[in-house]
Structure 1
Amino acid sequence: MIPHDTRLRRHAPLIVLEVLLVGTLIFEIARENGPAVFLLSALVLAALVPLALEPIARATIPVTLQLLYAVLLFGGAFLGTYVHVYGVWTPWDTVVHFFSGILIALGADHAWRILSRRHGFALPTWLWGLAIVSFSAFIAFLWEVAEFVTDLVSDSNAQVNNLDTMTDMIAGTTSALIVVVVLALTRAGRRTSV
């Protein structure tokens, strides 16, 4: 059993984000700002995903991944959408997609290591890397499909044009590729130094 104070420290990034989100949500409820209330409510729930996932997966999510996830929610949905940074500085969208590729690749690697330990199997480095990059590219694709559908059924304009869509997918996949190369080189260096 993990001591209570250790769990609080490990979940600190998400707890801080939740406090910010709930405070902002209460403010927007008082202002009767329906779209902001909807967005912030979704963010409050999204920030709880890692906490809910741990008991289901019977695994701990490292504080580093929780911090990256909190930064992604804060930078993408809170700053980008709620504060309207996407409208003020157009490259912010590409920055967020690049960052999301880092998080997805590191999260997929963490999940992969847990599964390989539990089931006692390993893949060659090239196949592991291909799987991580492919998974990240697939998530980038699904995200763009979600933006496309959202634009069709609502009054949003998440996908400006094909250049925006492809740039987002390339940014997320490129950052995942960088993560895989760095992890592979780091792990190869550890094996040769032992």
Structure 2
Amino acid sequence: MKRKVIIILSGIFILFMAVLVIYYLIKGDASRWQVALGGILASGLPLVLLRMKQNPFNIPIILGYYLFLFCSLYLGSIASFYLHHKWWDSTLHFYKGIFIGIVGISLYKQMIPLKVRRNVSAWILFLFTLSLAVLASVLWEIYEFVGDLTFTRTMQRGGNTDTMYDLLCGVAGGLIIAVYSLIRKQKV
């Protein structure tokens, strides 16, 4: 079932972004066709999961990934939500923190055998989950910084204030999931 969902969602998103690449190439809008091209690459990443013997991600996580791609690439960049709605950027950073925290829990459950998990401290899971969310936030801000240095000048319009606010939102989202994992692990 997961295999079909990945193939269908990847196919739809790749086709959608390919149409946008062509449309914006014809219009001469370099910024938008480059974002759409990046969308093709990003939407193809879950296809790599098909090569794994056991995919660690469930269908809600896969759907969450495509939701993030749609909201950040299409709505955020191409449809200009980042420019017209100031709250859009911070909301997506908050969502990303939550999403990466959930991915961390999923990886933990997949990679650590149940017998070993029973002896792992709840605080270790808390730190692991929070650390992944923080790392994702930092890497995203590096991506935005490098993007502004090389391609655009629009990713960090607010400079350091934007960067710090984005990091705080990402950490807050990760912290929520880390606290959830702590409480859930202590109940077990």
Same fold (TM over 0.5): yes
Query: Deviations for 1:59-83, whole angstroms, at most 9, x for unmatched residues?
Result: 2421111111111111112111111
CA distance in 1, matches of 2:3, 2:13: 16
- Computed over aligned residues only, the root mean square deviation of the Cα atoms, in angstroms, reads 2.3
The secondary structure found in structure 1 opposite 2:51 is helix
Note closer, same or farther for the CA distance 1:17–1:155 as it changes in structure 2 (3 Å cut).
closer
Note closer, same or farther for the CA distance 1:175–1:44 as it changes in structure 2 (3 Å cut).
same
Match of 1:176 among 174, 177, 182: 174
Quote the residue 1:51 is aligned against: 47
Is 1:84 equivalent to 2:94 in the alignment?
Answer: no
Note closer, same or farther for the CA distance 1:60–1:150 as it changes in structure 2 (3 Å cut).
same
Q: Which moved more, 1:22-31 or 1:125-134?
A: 22-31
- Corresponding pairs, count: 185
CA drift of 1:155 comes to 3.6
Q: Which moved more, 1:168-177 or 1:5-14?
A: 5-14
The secondary structure found in structure 1 opposite 2:19 is helix
The normalised TM-score by structure 1 is: 0.83
Query: Deviations for 1:27-46, whole angstroms, at most 9, x for unmatched residues?
Result: 33443433322211110110
CA distance in 2, matches of 1:177, 1:68: 18
The secondary structure found in structure 1 opposite 2:113 is helix
Unaligned runs of 5+ in 1: none
Query: Deviations for 1:2-41, whole angstroms, at most 9, x for unmatched residues?
Result: xxx6632465444443343233233334434333222111
State the one-letter code of the partner of 1:130. L
Unaligned runs of 5+ in 2: none
Note closer, same or farther for the CA distance 1:90–1:131 as it changes in structure 2 (3 Å cut).
same
Quote the residue 2:183 is aligned against: 185
Match of 2:14 among 18, 25, 33: 18
Quote the residue 1:110 is aligned against: 106
Note closer, same or farther for the CA distance 1:10–1:42 as it changes in structure 2 (3 Å cut).
closer
State the one-letter code of the partner of 1:109. I
Quote the residue 2:146 is aligned against: 149
CA drift of 1:57 comes to 6.7
Quote the residue 1:162 is aligned against: 160
8 Å CA contact 1:11–1:63 kept in 2: the answer is no
Is 1:31 equivalent to 2:36 in the alignment?
Answer: no
The secondary structure found in structure 1 opposite 2:31 is helix
Q: Percent of counterpart pairs with the same letter?
A: 23
Q: Which moved more, 1:141-150 or 1:74-83?
A: 141-150
State the one-letter code of the partner of 1:151. D
8 Å CA contact 1:14–1:66 kept in 2: the answer is no
